[in-house]
A and B are shown apart, each in its own frame.
Chain A
Amino acid sequence: MTQPDGLAPSGAASTAAADAEAPQPERAPLRVVVVDDHAMFRTGVKAEIGRSLAVVGEAEDVDSAVRVVLATHPDVVLLDVHLPGGGGVEVLRRVHEREPDQRFLALSVSDAAEDVIGVIRGGARGYVTKSISGPELVDAVRRVAEGDAVFSPRLAGFVLDAFSGAIDVAAVDEDLDRLSVREREVMRLIARGYAYKEVAKELFISIKTVETHVSSVLRKLQLSNRHQLTRWATDRRLV
């Protein structure tokens, strides 16, 4: 996220559509469900992204979220981390039982590592803070809808933290349990505030490759049982 490069096209498209009342150039707007226990925040998000995305449902707690998401089948669910009834993780669990392919983007004011990593390990494809600007949010939703991962600098920092520490060369190297050199580089650049496009330019690779690396890190984060990750999570009361 936080890519000016990604912003430019989306911003331009949305203003063009709004000005000329013309249909979106490519296809119908993405369908989004907003799950947050603060009504004021839901209203604000709707106002900000309503032009470029179709908000097809809202929910304020775990039960209503599961109901609304299963009923509307949105492209992306914007999911608050803290929710009455068990939190965002509970929504992820219950929806993924029925619809394993439903895509979620976590949205939170909490920067606590345990919340962020917890919701990513729970199955969200990205994490952004609530102070994100409207166009950036729209862009993040697009990315998640296309199956990519959305890593904020902060999330990248947490990932580096979680996978840090000397890797024992003698140990059996499970691919899942470590980041490749390239993935580390990508994570570091994202943590430094680089947009995907800038990362690609810096490393002389294509944006698609950057996205592949990020998605692979996401997979490792979700699937890895790496001892250190587990311990890191335990230390922070994640598991």
Chain B
Amino acid sequence: MPAAGASAPPVPAPPGATGRETQPAVRRAVRVSDGAVLGGVCTGLAQHFGWPVLVVRVVFVGLALAQLFGVLAYGALWLLMPAASSVAAPGLESATRSGLRPDGRPRRRSVDWGAVLALAALGTGLLWLVQTSGLGVSQRLFWPVAFACVGAALVWRQADTSAQHRWRAEAGGRVWLAPFVARGGWPALVRVIVGLGLVGAAFGLVVAQYSQLAELPQVLAMTLLALAGLAVVLAPWLHRSRTALNQARADKVRADERADMAAHLHDSVLQTLALIQRQAEDPRAVSQLARRQERELRGWLYADDVPEASLRAALTAAAAEVEDERGVPVEVVMVGDCETSDAVQALVRAAREAMVNAAKHSGADKIDVYAEVTDTEVEVFVRDRGAGFDVDAVAEDRYGVRGSILNRMARHGGRASIRSQPGDGTEVRLEVTR
């Protein structure tokens, strides 16, 4: 029967090819945090329309002087324009996360307080000029609006730090919720409180101006009551949002970790493939490289978590070392496991020596290591099917066998025996009591 399945291997669709490209991309203006002074609205608009940033900023400041229209427009745009986000290739993102390459996002510039002070003084002066010239907003409106603007700016600014990318993903787009439900530390909280206080003050001013001052406590009490009611109604929802946010954050961390590991592995596979191409003339080196890579991938994909201070971990590590140094595959099979003690460590070192001997002298193409842990003792067998040798003929000064294996085991209260015949391979048996 002709192999129908083989002739047409399934071609996997390139990831991301479907879905994302079916919709024509609408070019939207986005806020750019790189080089932003406040929210990045001006920078974003400038980039979108191709105008110089300075022009846009001057326009906004000019509009701000006209009945504060610029301020309101800026605020509205700040809310409506999404922040710029960039998605890099998985490998690049992972490398960025683990600090292997410079962060794509430039660090926030340190604030030049002199410039800020100068700008603030200039702005205040201009405002004062406009207000006193009679062209500005009426005094009754000016302070409440100014307070409200500054307060809102503080809160929004807080909701718009670099963490916002994360927040946006985590809070499911409800960015305005973020300052309430996300972690931000004390400064964030203080900023939010001051901002809310300013907004409250604006509200108080309006109330004070339009009604009698005597009624202020009553109005404030009513307002507080209303706010408290609102809080009671919203509390469960806020709480749920917060829980969901924490969950999403934990999931993201896990997913990132997994992605990082996967990226690291793929990277090492790339390295191995490159090395294999370079050393294609040397079959031994190629199979050694392939074997090492296989071990790494297999360990990541299928291995259980092995405690570090266990016989299993120590023995597989020793086998891997010998494999890499000598280029002979070492197959480790284990039944049971135990924690390492002095005796067990000596056992592992002796086993390693036995593997090295087998790899060096036997000429076998594979070494089998079998370890069995019972309630009372640990046994390790190292076996090859190589040349073998006459055990009795081993010279006393052959340090490897005598010193590293037999004497080492004897010193730690264990036993070692070597079985070998020329032409029939060698088996080293090591045991210690637990």
Could you tell me which A residues sit within 8 Å of B by CB distance?
Answer: 2, 4, 39-40, 42-43, 46, 55-60, 64, 68, 71-72, 109-112, 115, 131, 153-154, 156-157, 160-161, 164, 166, 188, 191-194
Contacts and interface: CB of A to CB of B under 8 A. Distances in A.
12 contacts: A2-B366, A42-B3, A71-B1, A111-B302, A154-B331, A154-B333, A160-B335, A188-B372, A192-B370, A193-B331, A193-B368, A194-B383
A157 B370 contact: yes
Nearest to A64: B5
B1 A57 contact: yes
A111 B6 contact: no
A58 B383 contact: no
Interface in B6-31: 6, 9-10
Interface in B286-341: 294, 298, 301-304, 331, 333-336
A157 B385 contact: no
B427 interface: yes
Nearest to A38: B9
B167 interface: no
Given A4-B385, A109-B298, A153-B368, A191 B5 contact: no
A55 B302 CA distance: 29
A191 B427 CA distance: 13
A71 B298 CA distance: 34
Contacts of B1: 56-57, 68, 71-72
Interface string B321-365: 000000000010111100000000000000000000000000000
A157 B369 CA distance: 11
B10 A60 contact: yes
B278 to A, nearest CB: 22
A153 B302 contact: no
A160 B372 contact: yes
B322 to A, nearest CB: 15
B370 A60 contact: no
Contacts of A160: 335, 372
A112 B302 contact: yes
Interface string B140-178: 000000000000000000000000000000000000000
Contacts of A109: 298, 302
Contacts of A131: 294
A112 to B, nearest CB: 4
Contacts of A115: 302
Most chain-A Cβ atoms within 10 A of its Cβ — which of B302, B303, B333, B336? B333
B333 A191 contact: yes
Nearest to A115: B302
A43 B304 CA distance: 31
B249 to A, nearest CB: 28
A232 B427 CA distance: 31
A191 B382 CA distance: 11
Given A60-B5, A131-B294, A153-B370, A191 B301 contact: no
Interface string B84-126: 0000000000000000000000000000000000000000000
Closest 4 CB pairs of A and B: A193-B368, A39-B9, A157-B333, A192-B370
B151 to A, nearest CB: 56
B381 interface: yes
Contact of A55 (B3, B304, B366): B3
A157 B316 CA distance: 15
A57 B366 CA distance: 32
B294 to A, nearest CB: 7
B303 A58 contact: no
A161 B336 CA distance: 7
Given A59-B5, A157-B335, A164-B336, A193 B298 contact: no
A110 to B, nearest CB: 5
Given A60-B5, A193-B370, A111 B335 contact: no
A154 B250 CA distance: 37
Contacts of A161: 335-336
Contacts of A157: 333-335, 370
A2 B334 CA distance: 18
B298 A42 contact: no
Interface in B36-64: none
A43 B5 contact: no
A193 B334 CA distance: 12
A192 B383 contact: yes
A71 B1 CA distance: 10
Contacts of B372: 160, 188, 191
Contact of B370 (A40, A42, A43, A191): A191
A175 B5 CA distance: 44
Contacts of A40: 9
Contacts of A192: 333, 368, 370, 381, 383, 427
A211 B427 CA distance: 23
A117 to B, nearest CB: 14
Contacts of B370: 153, 157, 188, 191-193
Nearest to B4: A58
A64 B8 CA distance: 13
A152 to B, nearest CB: 9
